[in-house]
Amino acid sequence: MDSRLNKRQFLQTTLAMGAVTAAAPPGAAADPGTAATPAPESPAADLLDPTFESIDAHGFTSDAIHLGEAPGFSVTPIEQAKNVRGAYQRPGSNATLGALETKLGALEGAAQAVSAPCGMSIISQTLLTFLSAGDRLVVHRCVYDNVMSLLRSHLPRFGIKVAFVDMTDPAALGKALAEKPAKVVHFEPYVNPTCEVLDAPGLIREAKAAGALCIVDNTWLTPYLFQPLRHGADLVLHSATKYLGGHGSALGGIACGSQTHVSRIRDTINTMGGILRPFDAFLITQGVKTLALRMRQHTTSALEVARFLESHPKVARVRYGGLPSWSGHAVAARFLKGTGGMMGVEWKDDATHDSFHTRLKLCKPWVSLGDVVTLVSRRQPEEDRAIPPRYTRISIGLEDTADIIADFEQALA
C-alpha cells in the first residue's frame, strides 16, 4: 500500500474537518440527533477590499479581464516595434503596456498608471521624481531588502535625508513628522519580510495631516486585498514581478496615482530610461486577469499552513496576518479581509533553521514572493529591522495545500 498517498489523504481529510470545525460558532456542540448541514462558504470566497468601486459597474475580476484590452482582440497583441506611430516606444505609447497600465490604474482607483521594467525601477524612479537634495523621507523601519539598500546607501549620496521609524504605531509616525517635516512618507502595509501588519489607513492619515506625500508599496497585498488610494494615499507602487504576474515568468513595476503625479514619474522614466518590455507586460497582464482567484487561494492555503506550523513542536512562533496568535492579526482585521500568502516562522533551534529549507522536496528554497510555487527563504537576524533570529520567510504558492504541509512535515522530521 502507498503510505505517501495515505498520508496525503489523511491531511486532506484533516484540513477539511478543520475547516468545518472552524465554521461552527464558538462553544457550539454537535447534536448527534440532527443531520449534518453543509459548512457555510469560506470567508476566503470574498476577500476584496470593500472600498473597491468599478469604473464601469462590473466586478473586480471582470475589470481585470476586460479593461484596457485592444478592441477586436481577446488578448492585446504584443506591440514589439521600436517605433510606434512615428515615435520611440515609451510608456503611454505602447498598446501592450497600455493594457496593463489601464487595468492596474482602474483596480487601484487611480486616474493613471505607469509601468517600469521591475519593482526597484519604479520605486527608485518614483522617489527620485519627488525628492531633491535636502528633502526628508520617512520610512518604516523595515521594507523590501533592495529598497533598504537604496535608502541606506544611495539616496543619501544625493543629499536626501532618510529617517527610519517604527510605524507599528501610527502615533510614532505622527510624532516623527511633528518633530521634523518630511516631503515623503513610505511604507508597506504588510511588511516584507517581518510580516508586521501596519495600520495603513491610520498611517496615511498621519502623513497627509503633516503635508507629506504618502507613497504605499502594495506589492504583498495587491489591489484585490487592499487599495491604498481609496484610503487617501497619493501613490501606490507594485513590483509586478510578484503577485500581479503571479507565475514567476516576468519582471515589471507599476505606479498608480493622479494624472499629475503619474505624469511626473513618466517624464522621469522617459529621461532616465527603464521601459517595461512588451512581452513582460503581456505576461503580467495575463496574470492580473486571475489575480482575485489566486489571492483567495494563496490566503486560504497560507492560513492552513500557518495553523499546521503553529502546532509543530519545532516552531517558536508563526507570523501571519490571518493567524489570531500573531500581533498583526488585530491590526489587519480593522481594514483587511485577508493577507495573502506571505508568512514568517521563528524556529526554536538553530539546527531546524539551518536545515529546513535544504530538506524540501516539493517547495523551493528560493528567493522572491507571489509565485504559483511555494518559496522558502532563510533569513539572518537584523535587529534594526525587527528581523528575529532563526527566522524563515515563506511565500505559500498554489500547490495542493496538503502537499505543501506534507513537504514541510517531512522536512521537519
The CA distance from 183 to 205, in Å, is: 15
Could you confirm whether 217 is annotated as catalytic?
yes
Burial bucket for residue 161 (CB in 10 Å: 0-12, 13-18, 19+): middle
Q: DSSP E strands: which ranges in 218-371?
A: 235-239, 253-257, 315-319, 342-347
Catalytic one among 90, 175, 180, 361?
90
Q: HSE of 382 in the Cβ direction (CA atoms, 13 Å)?
A: 16
DSSP, collapsed to helix, strand or coil, labels residue 76 as: coil
Catalytic one among 49, 63, 199, 217?
217
Which residues does 53 contact at the CB level (< 8 Å), separation at least 6? Answer: 109, 230
Cβ-contact 330, 338 below 8 angstroms:
no
Catalytic one among 135, 136, 144, 289?
144
Cβ-contact 339, 321 below 8 angstroms:
yes
Residue 347 bridge partners (DSSP): 315
Cβ-contact 110, 268 below 8 angstroms:
no
Could you confirm whether 242 is annotated as catalytic?
yes
Could you confirm whether 199 is annotated as catalytic?
no
The grid coordinates of residue 182 equal: 518630511
CA angle (321, 327, 330) in 5-degree steps: 70
Catalytic one among 230, 242, 277, 364?
242
The CA distance from 141 to 326, in Å, is: 19
Could you confirm whether 46 is annotated as catalytic?
no
170-179 and 200-209 are packed helices; what angle lies between their axes, rounded to 10 degrees?
20
The CA distance from 74 to 64, in Å, is: 13
Q: DSSP E strands: which ranges in 98-188?
A: 112-116, 136-140, 161-165, 184-187
Residue 258 to residues 25, 67, 101, 266, 359, Cα–Cα distance (Å): 45, 18, 13, 12, 48
Q: Strand pairing of 136-140 and 161-165?
A: parallel
Residue 376 bridge partners (DSSP): 394
Q: Which residues are catalytic?
A: 90, 144, 217, 242
